[in-house]
Structure 1
Protein backbone atom coordinates (compact mmCIF):
# COMPACT_ATOMS: atom_id res chain seq x y z
CA UNK A 1 0.00 0.00 0.00
CA UNK A 2 1.32 3.44 -0.94
CA UNK A 3 1.38 6.20 1.65
CA UNK A 4 -0.51 9.34 0.75
CA UNK A 5 1.67 12.22 -0.47
CA UNK A 6 2.37 14.98 1.98
CA UNK A 7 -0.37 17.63 2.10
CA UNK A 8 0.19 20.87 0.26
CA UNK A 9 1.18 23.75 2.55
CA UNK A 10 -1.37 26.48 3.06
CA UNK A 11 -0.58 29.99 1.81
CA UNK A 12 0.82 32.57 4.20
CA UNK A 13 -1.90 34.49 6.07
CA UNK A 14 -1.60 38.00 7.42
CA UNK A 15 -3.13 37.70 10.90
CA UNK A 16 -3.24 39.89 13.99
CA UNK A 17 -1.28 37.29 15.96
CA UNK A 18 1.58 37.35 13.45
CA UNK A 19 1.63 41.13 13.50
CA UNK A 20 1.75 41.17 17.30
CA UNK A 21 4.54 38.57 17.31
CA UNK A 22 6.55 40.68 14.86
CA UNK A 23 6.15 43.78 17.05
CA UNK A 24 7.42 41.79 20.07
CA UNK A 25 10.37 40.64 17.98
CA UNK A 26 11.18 44.25 17.11
CA UNK A 27 11.03 45.21 20.79
CA UNK A 28 13.35 42.34 21.79
CA UNK A 29 15.91 43.29 19.15
CA UNK A 30 15.94 46.89 20.37
CA UNK A 31 16.08 45.88 24.05
CA UNK A 32 19.03 43.57 23.40
CA UNK A 33 21.22 46.56 22.48
CA UNK A 34 19.71 49.61 24.19
CA UNK A 35 22.53 51.92 23.12
CA UNK A 36 21.78 51.19 19.47
CA UNK A 37 17.98 50.92 19.81
CA UNK A 38 17.34 53.88 17.52
CA UNK A 39 19.67 52.56 14.81
CA UNK A 40 18.06 49.12 15.03
CA UNK A 41 14.57 50.62 14.79
CA UNK A 42 15.53 52.49 11.62
CA UNK A 43 16.60 49.24 9.92
CA UNK A 44 13.49 47.32 10.97
CA UNK A 45 10.63 47.06 8.47
CA UNK A 46 7.16 48.34 9.22
CA UNK A 47 4.58 45.69 10.04
CA UNK A 48 2.79 46.04 6.69
CA UNK A 49 6.08 45.77 4.79
CA UNK A 50 7.08 42.71 6.78
CA UNK A 51 3.79 40.97 6.02
CA UNK A 52 4.23 41.69 2.30
CA UNK A 53 7.80 40.41 2.48
CA UNK A 54 6.71 37.17 4.15
CA UNK A 55 3.97 36.63 1.57
CA UNK A 56 6.45 37.00 -1.28
CA UNK A 57 8.97 34.81 0.52
CA UNK A 58 6.38 32.04 0.94
CA UNK A 59 5.52 32.16 -2.77
CA UNK A 60 9.20 32.03 -3.76
CA UNK A 61 9.83 29.11 -1.41
CA UNK A 62 6.90 27.17 -2.84
CA UNK A 63 8.05 27.84 -6.39
CA UNK A 64 11.56 26.69 -5.55
CA UNK A 65 10.21 23.61 -3.78
CA UNK A 66 8.12 22.67 -6.82
CA UNK A 67 11.12 23.20 -9.08
CA UNK A 68 13.32 20.98 -6.92
CA UNK A 69 10.63 18.31 -6.76
CA UNK A 70 10.18 18.36 -10.55
CA UNK A 71 13.97 18.11 -11.02
CA UNK A 72 13.99 15.16 -8.63
CA UNK A 73 11.29 13.36 -10.63
CA UNK A 74 13.19 13.99 -13.87
CA UNK A 75 16.42 12.59 -12.42
CA UNK A 76 14.67 9.53 -10.98
CA UNK A 77 12.80 8.87 -14.23
CA UNK A 78 16.03 9.23 -16.21
CA UNK A 79 17.64 6.57 -14.01
CA UNK A 80 14.60 4.34 -14.41
CA UNK A 81 14.41 4.63 -18.20
CA UNK A 82 18.14 3.94 -18.50
CA UNK A 83 17.42 0.35 -17.41
CA UNK A 84 16.35 -2.53 -19.62
CA UNK A 85 12.67 -2.80 -20.50
CA UNK A 86 11.91 -5.90 -18.43
CA UNK A 87 13.74 -4.54 -15.40
CA UNK A 88 12.01 -1.19 -15.77
CA UNK A 89 8.58 -2.83 -15.85
CA UNK A 90 9.40 -4.87 -12.74
CA UNK A 91 10.52 -1.77 -10.82
CA UNK A 92 7.44 0.20 -11.88
CA UNK A 93 5.20 -2.61 -10.62
CA UNK A 94 7.21 -2.69 -7.39
CA UNK A 95 6.93 1.09 -6.97
CA UNK A 96 3.14 0.87 -7.08
CA UNK A 97 2.99 -1.41 -4.04
CA UNK A 98 6.01 -0.38 -2.00
CA UNK A 99 5.42 1.37 1.37
CA UNK A 100 7.45 4.44 0.38
CA UNK A 101 5.76 7.83 0.05
CA UNK A 102 5.15 9.03 -3.51
CA UNK A 103 8.20 11.28 -3.56
CA UNK A 104 11.12 11.40 -6.04
CA UNK A 105 13.71 11.03 -3.29
CA UNK A 106 12.13 7.74 -2.22
CA UNK A 107 12.02 6.51 -5.81
CA UNK A 108 15.72 7.32 -6.04
CA UNK A 109 16.30 5.40 -2.81
CA UNK A 110 14.42 2.41 -4.21
CA UNK A 111 16.50 2.47 -7.40
CA UNK A 112 19.69 2.71 -5.36
CA UNK A 113 18.72 -0.21 -3.12
CA UNK A 114 17.90 -2.32 -6.15
CA UNK A 115 21.16 -1.37 -7.89
CA UNK A 116 23.21 -2.25 -4.77
CA UNK A 117 21.40 -5.56 -4.30
CA UNK A 118 19.67 -4.65 -1.06
CA UNK A 119 16.23 -5.19 -2.59
CA UNK A 120 15.27 -7.89 -5.05
CA UNK A 121 12.32 -6.74 -7.20
CA UNK A 122 11.15 -10.35 -7.48
CA UNK A 123 11.13 -10.80 -3.69
CA UNK A 124 10.71 -7.42 -1.96
CA UNK A 125 10.92 -7.34 1.85
CA UNK A 126 7.31 -6.08 2.18
CA UNK A 127 5.66 -8.90 0.24
CA UNK A 128 5.77 -11.24 -2.70
CA UNK A 129 4.90 -10.75 -6.32
CA UNK A 130 2.15 -8.36 -7.15
CA UNK A 131 -0.28 -8.82 -10.02
CA UNK A 132 -1.83 -5.59 -11.22
CA UNK A 133 -5.58 -5.83 -11.53
CA UNK A 134 -7.16 -2.88 -13.33
CA UNK A 135 -10.26 -1.35 -11.80
CA UNK A 136 -13.13 -2.24 -14.11
CA UNK A 137 -16.90 -1.87 -14.15
CA UNK A 138 -18.02 -4.76 -16.38
CA UNK A 139 -21.76 -4.41 -15.78
CA UNK A 140 -22.56 -0.81 -14.77
CA UNK A 141 -26.11 0.29 -14.07
CA UNK A 142 -25.56 4.01 -14.63
CA UNK A 143 -23.23 6.36 -16.48
CA UNK A 144 -21.79 7.78 -13.27
CA UNK A 145 -21.01 4.27 -12.04
CA UNK A 146 -19.09 3.42 -15.21
CA UNK A 147 -17.27 6.70 -15.86
CA UNK A 148 -15.88 9.54 -13.81
CA UNK A 149 -15.21 13.06 -14.98
CA UNK A 150 -11.54 14.04 -15.27
CA UNK A 151 -11.65 17.28 -17.26
CA UNK A 152 -13.75 20.17 -18.49
CA UNK A 153 -13.51 23.17 -20.79
CA UNK A 154 -15.92 25.65 -22.38
CA UNK A 155 -16.38 25.57 -26.14
CA UNK A 156 -17.87 28.37 -28.21
CA UNK A 157 -18.72 31.98 -27.48
CA UNK A 158 -20.15 34.98 -29.26
CA UNK A 159 -23.39 36.99 -29.42
CA UNK A 160 -25.62 34.00 -30.21
CA UNK A 161 -23.65 31.25 -28.51
CA UNK A 162 -22.57 31.75 -24.94
CA UNK A 163 -20.69 28.47 -24.94
CA UNK A 164 -21.15 24.85 -23.96
CA UNK A 165 -19.08 22.71 -21.65
CA UNK A 166 -17.05 19.89 -23.15
CA UNK A 167 -16.30 17.27 -20.53
CA UNK A 168 -13.86 14.39 -20.46
CA UNK A 169 -14.65 11.08 -18.71
CA UNK A 170 -12.68 7.89 -18.21
CA UNK A 171 -13.64 4.35 -17.27
CA UNK A 172 -12.98 0.68 -17.96
CA UNK A 173 -15.78 -1.70 -18.91
CA UNK A 174 -13.40 -4.66 -18.98
CA UNK A 175 -11.54 -4.35 -22.30
CA UNK A 176 -9.26 -1.44 -21.38
CA UNK A 177 -9.45 2.17 -20.33
CA UNK A 178 -11.80 4.38 -22.32
CA UNK A 179 -11.88 8.14 -22.65
CA UNK A 180 -15.19 9.82 -23.46
CA UNK A 181 -15.62 13.38 -24.67
CA UNK A 182 -19.13 14.75 -24.18
CA UNK A 183 -20.31 17.89 -25.96
CA UNK A 184 -23.72 19.46 -26.55
CA UNK A 185 -24.48 20.24 -30.19
CA UNK A 186 -26.93 22.67 -31.78
CA UNK A 187 -29.53 21.48 -34.31
CA UNK A 188 -30.81 24.95 -35.13
CA UNK A 189 -28.06 27.52 -35.84
CA UNK A 190 -30.14 30.32 -34.29
CA UNK A 191 -30.36 28.54 -30.95
CA UNK A 192 -27.96 29.42 -28.15
CA UNK A 193 -26.51 27.65 -25.15
CA UNK A 194 -27.32 28.56 -21.60
CA UNK A 195 -26.43 26.94 -18.29
CA UNK A 196 -28.98 26.14 -15.62
CA UNK A 197 -29.02 24.14 -12.41
CA UNK A 198 -31.01 21.34 -14.08
CA UNK A 199 -27.97 19.32 -15.05
CA UNK A 200 -27.53 15.62 -15.53
CA UNK A 201 -24.87 13.88 -17.61
CA UNK A 202 -22.39 16.73 -18.01
CA UNK A 203 -23.09 18.89 -14.92
CA UNK A 204 -24.19 21.51 -17.47
CA UNK A 205 -27.65 21.21 -18.97
CA UNK A 206 -27.77 23.53 -21.96
CA UNK A 207 -30.40 24.89 -24.27
CA UNK A 208 -34.09 24.50 -24.75
CA UNK A 209 -35.25 22.39 -27.69
CA UNK A 210 -32.96 21.77 -30.64
CA UNK A 211 -29.93 20.38 -28.80
CA UNK A 212 -28.38 16.94 -28.81
CA UNK A 213 -25.42 15.37 -27.07
CA UNK A 214 -22.43 13.87 -28.85
CA UNK A 215 -20.18 11.44 -26.98
CA UNK A 216 -16.90 10.48 -28.66
CA UNK A 217 -15.18 7.33 -27.37
CA UNK A 218 -11.43 6.74 -27.54
CA UNK A 219 -9.80 3.42 -26.73
CA UNK A 220 -10.42 -0.25 -27.45
CA UNK A 221 -14.20 -0.58 -27.49
CA UNK A 222 -16.38 -3.33 -28.94
CA UNK A 223 -19.75 -2.69 -30.55
CA UNK A 224 -21.39 -4.25 -27.49
CA UNK A 225 -19.62 -1.81 -25.15
CA UNK A 226 -20.40 1.05 -27.51
CA UNK A 227 -24.09 0.20 -27.35
CA UNK A 228 -23.90 -0.08 -23.57
CA UNK A 229 -22.30 3.37 -23.36
CA UNK A 230 -25.03 4.76 -25.61
CA UNK A 231 -27.76 3.34 -23.34
CA UNK A 232 -26.12 4.63 -20.16
CA UNK A 233 -25.55 8.07 -21.66
CA UNK A 234 -29.11 8.29 -22.96
CA UNK A 235 -30.51 7.26 -19.58
CA UNK A 236 -28.48 10.10 -18.02
CA UNK A 237 -29.92 12.81 -20.26
CA UNK A 238 -33.32 13.85 -21.60
CA UNK A 239 -32.03 15.05 -24.98
CA UNK A 240 -31.01 12.85 -27.91
CA UNK A 241 -27.60 11.27 -27.37
CA UNK A 242 -25.32 10.03 -30.15
CA UNK A 243 -22.30 7.94 -29.20
CA UNK A 244 -19.54 7.15 -31.66
CA UNK A 245 -16.06 5.75 -31.59
CA UNK A 246 -13.37 8.10 -32.80
CA UNK A 247 -12.70 5.68 -35.69
CA UNK A 248 -16.21 4.33 -36.27
CA UNK A 249 -19.84 5.17 -37.11
CA UNK A 250 -22.23 6.71 -34.54
CA UNK A 251 -24.73 4.84 -32.36
CA UNK A 252 -28.02 6.58 -31.55
CA UNK A 253 -30.89 5.26 -29.44
CA UNK A 254 -33.20 8.22 -29.91
CA UNK A 255 -33.84 7.82 -33.63
CA UNK A 256 -33.80 11.59 -34.02
CA UNK A 257 -31.16 11.61 -36.73
CA UNK A 258 -29.17 14.32 -34.93
CA UNK A 259 -25.85 13.64 -36.62
Structure 2
Protein backbone atom coordinates (compact mmCIF):
# COMPACT_ATOMS: atom_id res chain seq x y z
CA UNK A 1 0.00 0.00 0.00
CA UNK A 2 1.55 3.27 -1.10
CA UNK A 3 1.57 5.95 1.60
CA UNK A 4 3.69 8.85 2.76
CA UNK A 5 5.03 8.62 6.28
CA UNK A 6 4.04 11.44 8.58
CA UNK A 7 6.97 12.94 10.53
CA UNK A 8 7.16 12.11 14.19
CA UNK A 9 6.15 14.83 16.70
CA UNK A 10 8.91 17.25 17.55
CA UNK A 11 9.19 19.89 20.24
CA UNK A 12 8.29 23.47 19.43
CA UNK A 13 11.29 25.43 18.19
CA UNK A 14 11.53 28.86 19.74
CA UNK A 15 13.54 31.34 17.68
CA UNK A 16 14.25 35.10 17.89
CA UNK A 17 12.27 35.59 14.68
CA UNK A 18 9.16 34.06 16.25
CA UNK A 19 9.50 36.27 19.31
CA UNK A 20 9.94 39.36 17.13
CA UNK A 21 6.95 38.35 14.99
CA UNK A 22 4.79 38.06 18.12
CA UNK A 23 5.79 41.56 19.24
CA UNK A 24 4.98 43.00 15.79
CA UNK A 25 1.60 41.28 15.81
CA UNK A 26 0.72 42.69 19.22
CA UNK A 27 1.83 46.17 18.18
CA UNK A 28 -0.35 46.07 15.04
CA UNK A 29 -3.33 45.01 17.14
CA UNK A 30 -2.84 48.04 19.41
CA UNK A 31 -2.20 50.43 16.51
CA UNK A 32 -5.37 49.29 14.76
CA UNK A 33 -7.51 50.72 17.61
CA UNK A 34 -5.54 53.53 19.26
CA UNK A 35 -8.37 54.52 21.61
CA UNK A 36 -8.45 51.02 23.05
CA UNK A 37 -4.70 50.41 23.01
CA UNK A 38 -4.44 50.08 26.81
CA UNK A 39 -7.33 47.62 26.99
CA UNK A 40 -5.86 45.55 24.16
CA UNK A 41 -2.40 45.55 25.79
CA UNK A 42 -3.91 44.30 29.05
CA UNK A 43 -5.29 41.25 27.26
CA UNK A 44 -2.07 40.40 25.43
CA UNK A 45 0.31 37.77 26.80
CA UNK A 46 3.92 38.34 27.61
CA UNK A 47 6.38 36.91 25.08
CA UNK A 48 7.77 34.33 27.52
CA UNK A 49 4.26 33.34 28.56
CA UNK A 50 3.19 32.92 24.91
CA UNK A 51 6.26 30.83 24.08
CA UNK A 52 5.57 28.55 27.06
CA UNK A 53 1.95 28.15 25.95
CA UNK A 54 3.07 27.23 22.43
CA UNK A 55 5.43 24.55 23.74
CA UNK A 56 2.49 22.76 25.34
CA UNK A 57 0.03 23.44 22.50
CA UNK A 58 2.46 22.28 19.79
CA UNK A 59 2.88 18.76 21.17
CA UNK A 60 -0.87 18.32 21.59
CA UNK A 61 -1.45 19.59 18.05
CA UNK A 62 1.12 17.18 16.58
CA UNK A 63 -0.46 14.19 18.31
CA UNK A 64 -3.95 15.26 17.23
CA UNK A 65 -2.89 15.60 13.59
CA UNK A 66 -1.32 12.14 13.62
CA UNK A 67 -4.45 10.70 15.20
CA UNK A 68 -6.73 12.31 12.60
CA UNK A 69 -4.52 11.18 9.73
CA UNK A 70 -4.44 7.59 11.01
CA UNK A 71 -8.23 7.64 11.41
CA UNK A 72 -8.68 8.79 7.79
CA UNK A 73 -6.35 6.02 6.60
CA UNK A 74 -8.35 3.41 8.51
CA UNK A 75 -11.60 4.74 7.05
CA UNK A 76 -10.24 4.70 3.50
CA UNK A 77 -8.81 1.19 3.89
CA UNK A 78 -12.16 -0.02 5.21
CA UNK A 79 -13.77 1.26 2.00
CA UNK A 80 -11.07 -0.49 -0.01
CA UNK A 81 -11.62 -3.87 1.65
CA UNK A 82 -15.38 -3.51 1.16
CA UNK A 83 -14.85 -3.79 -2.61
CA UNK A 84 -15.08 -7.15 -4.41
CA UNK A 85 -11.80 -9.04 -4.48
CA UNK A 86 -11.08 -8.63 -8.26
CA UNK A 87 -11.79 -4.90 -8.15
CA UNK A 88 -9.82 -4.51 -4.92
CA UNK A 89 -6.71 -6.05 -6.49
CA UNK A 90 -7.07 -3.79 -9.51
CA UNK A 91 -7.52 -0.68 -7.35
CA UNK A 92 -4.45 -1.51 -5.26
CA UNK A 93 -2.37 -1.98 -8.40
CA UNK A 94 -3.58 1.36 -9.77
CA UNK A 95 -2.84 3.15 -6.51
CA UNK A 96 0.81 2.03 -6.69
CA UNK A 97 1.32 3.75 -10.05
CA UNK A 98 -1.13 6.66 -10.00
CA UNK A 99 0.18 10.26 -9.76
CA UNK A 100 -1.98 11.16 -6.73
CA UNK A 101 -0.25 12.15 -3.48
CA UNK A 102 0.15 9.24 -1.07
CA UNK A 103 -2.05 10.67 1.66
CA UNK A 104 -5.43 9.52 3.03
CA UNK A 105 -7.42 12.40 1.52
CA UNK A 106 -6.18 11.60 -2.00
CA UNK A 107 -6.77 7.87 -1.49
CA UNK A 108 -10.31 8.49 -0.25
CA UNK A 109 -11.01 10.71 -3.26
CA UNK A 110 -9.47 8.04 -5.51
CA UNK A 111 -11.95 5.47 -4.17
CA UNK A 112 -14.82 7.95 -4.44
CA UNK A 113 -14.07 8.67 -8.11
CA UNK A 114 -14.16 4.93 -8.82
CA UNK A 115 -17.39 4.48 -6.86
CA UNK A 116 -19.28 7.20 -8.77
CA UNK A 117 -17.92 6.05 -12.14
CA UNK A 118 -15.75 9.06 -12.96
CA UNK A 119 -12.58 6.94 -12.92
CA UNK A 120 -12.49 3.73 -14.91
CA UNK A 121 -10.03 1.25 -13.35
CA UNK A 122 -9.56 -0.37 -16.75
CA UNK A 123 -8.72 2.94 -18.47
CA UNK A 124 -7.10 5.31 -15.94
CA UNK A 125 -6.78 8.87 -17.26
CA UNK A 126 -3.07 9.15 -16.47
CA UNK A 127 -2.29 6.44 -19.04
CA UNK A 128 -2.41 7.09 -22.78
CA UNK A 129 -4.87 4.82 -24.57
CA UNK A 130 -4.42 5.25 -28.28
CA UNK A 131 -7.22 3.99 -30.45
CA UNK A 132 -5.50 2.29 -33.33
CA UNK A 133 -7.73 2.18 -36.36
CA UNK A 134 -6.41 1.75 -39.85
CA UNK A 135 -7.42 4.22 -42.53
CA UNK A 136 -9.38 2.15 -45.01
CA UNK A 137 -10.74 3.15 -48.39
CA UNK A 138 -13.47 0.57 -48.82
CA UNK A 139 -14.98 1.54 -52.18
CA UNK A 140 -12.61 3.91 -53.98
CA UNK A 141 -13.79 5.52 -57.17
CA UNK A 142 -10.36 6.52 -58.49
CA UNK A 143 -6.77 5.40 -58.13
CA UNK A 144 -5.85 8.66 -56.38
CA UNK A 145 -8.61 8.12 -53.84
CA UNK A 146 -7.39 4.62 -53.00
CA UNK A 147 -3.62 5.16 -52.98
CA UNK A 148 -1.30 7.97 -51.98
CA UNK A 149 2.13 8.51 -53.47
CA UNK A 150 4.82 8.23 -50.81
CA UNK A 151 8.01 7.91 -52.83
CA UNK A 152 9.77 8.30 -56.15
CA UNK A 153 13.18 7.35 -57.48
CA UNK A 154 14.90 7.32 -60.86
CA UNK A 155 15.73 3.97 -62.42
CA UNK A 156 17.37 2.94 -65.68
CA UNK A 157 19.08 5.42 -67.94
CA UNK A 158 22.15 5.16 -70.12
CA UNK A 159 24.02 6.80 -73.02
CA UNK A 160 20.90 7.04 -75.21
CA UNK A 161 18.15 6.95 -72.61
CA UNK A 162 16.99 9.07 -69.72
CA UNK A 163 16.07 7.62 -66.33
CA UNK A 164 12.44 6.80 -65.68
CA UNK A 165 10.61 7.46 -62.45
CA UNK A 166 9.62 4.53 -60.27
CA UNK A 167 6.71 5.63 -58.09
CA UNK A 168 5.72 4.15 -54.75
CA UNK A 169 2.11 4.28 -53.52
CA UNK A 170 0.42 3.03 -50.36
CA UNK A 171 -3.19 2.42 -49.40
CA UNK A 172 -5.56 0.09 -47.59
CA UNK A 173 -8.57 -1.47 -49.27
CA UNK A 174 -9.66 -3.33 -46.15
CA UNK A 175 -7.34 -6.35 -45.93
CA UNK A 176 -4.26 -4.45 -44.79
CA UNK A 177 -1.80 -1.89 -46.01
CA UNK A 178 -0.62 -2.31 -49.60
CA UNK A 179 2.46 -0.91 -51.30
CA UNK A 180 2.36 -0.39 -55.05
CA UNK A 181 5.43 0.16 -57.22
CA UNK A 182 4.63 1.71 -60.61
CA UNK A 183 7.09 1.78 -63.49
CA UNK A 184 6.73 2.42 -67.21
CA UNK A 185 8.25 -0.29 -69.40
CA UNK A 186 8.84 -0.71 -73.15
CA UNK A 187 6.49 -2.84 -75.20
CA UNK A 188 9.43 -3.47 -77.52
CA UNK A 189 12.50 -4.07 -75.32
CA UNK A 190 14.80 -3.03 -78.20
CA UNK A 191 13.17 0.36 -78.60
CA UNK A 192 15.02 3.37 -77.22
CA UNK A 193 13.35 4.41 -74.01
CA UNK A 194 12.88 8.14 -73.58
CA UNK A 195 10.57 9.41 -70.88
CA UNK A 196 10.39 12.63 -68.94
CA UNK A 197 11.76 12.73 -65.42
CA UNK A 198 8.47 14.07 -64.10
CA UNK A 199 6.58 10.91 -65.09
CA UNK A 200 3.28 10.29 -63.32
CA UNK A 201 0.88 7.38 -63.55
CA UNK A 202 -1.72 9.52 -65.32
CA UNK A 203 -0.09 12.56 -66.90
CA UNK A 204 2.92 11.21 -68.82
CA UNK A 205 2.59 12.17 -72.50
CA UNK A 206 5.75 10.45 -73.74
CA UNK A 207 5.55 7.29 -75.83
CA UNK A 208 2.09 6.17 -74.83
CA UNK A 209 1.80 3.87 -77.83
CA UNK A 210 5.06 2.10 -77.13
CA UNK A 211 4.96 1.65 -73.36
CA UNK A 212 2.99 -0.16 -70.70
CA UNK A 213 2.66 0.43 -66.97
CA UNK A 214 3.93 -2.28 -64.65
CA UNK A 215 2.48 -2.18 -61.12
CA UNK A 216 3.80 -4.51 -58.44
CA UNK A 217 1.64 -5.01 -55.35
CA UNK A 218 3.16 -5.94 -51.99
CA UNK A 219 1.02 -6.86 -49.03
CA UNK A 220 -2.00 -8.98 -48.18
CA UNK A 221 -4.00 -8.56 -51.37
CA UNK A 222 -6.95 -10.73 -52.42
CA UNK A 223 -7.93 -11.46 -56.00
CA UNK A 224 -10.83 -9.02 -55.69
CA UNK A 225 -8.49 -6.27 -54.49
CA UNK A 226 -6.05 -7.08 -57.28
CA UNK A 227 -8.83 -6.75 -59.87
CA UNK A 228 -9.93 -3.47 -58.31
CA UNK A 229 -6.39 -2.07 -58.44
CA UNK A 230 -6.09 -3.12 -62.08
CA UNK A 231 -9.38 -1.44 -62.97
CA UNK A 232 -8.56 1.80 -61.15
CA UNK A 233 -5.04 1.98 -62.58
CA UNK A 234 -6.26 1.31 -66.11
CA UNK A 235 -8.89 4.03 -65.76
CA UNK A 236 -6.14 6.45 -64.75
CA UNK A 237 -3.91 5.74 -67.77
CA UNK A 238 -4.48 5.13 -71.47
CA UNK A 239 -1.50 2.78 -71.75
CA UNK A 240 -1.82 -0.92 -70.98
CA UNK A 241 -1.56 -1.64 -67.26
CA UNK A 242 -0.34 -4.91 -65.78
CA UNK A 243 -0.85 -5.45 -62.04
CA UNK A 244 1.10 -8.24 -60.36
CA UNK A 245 1.25 -9.47 -56.81
CA UNK A 246 4.77 -9.67 -55.35
CA UNK A 247 5.83 -11.99 -52.56
CA UNK A 248 8.83 -10.42 -50.78
CA UNK A 249 10.31 -13.88 -50.13
CA UNK A 250 9.57 -15.64 -53.40
CA UNK A 251 9.51 -12.80 -55.92
CA UNK A 252 6.70 -12.04 -58.34
CA UNK A 253 3.56 -14.16 -58.52
TM superposition score normalised by structure 2: 0.47
Q: Which has the larger radius of gyration?
A: 2
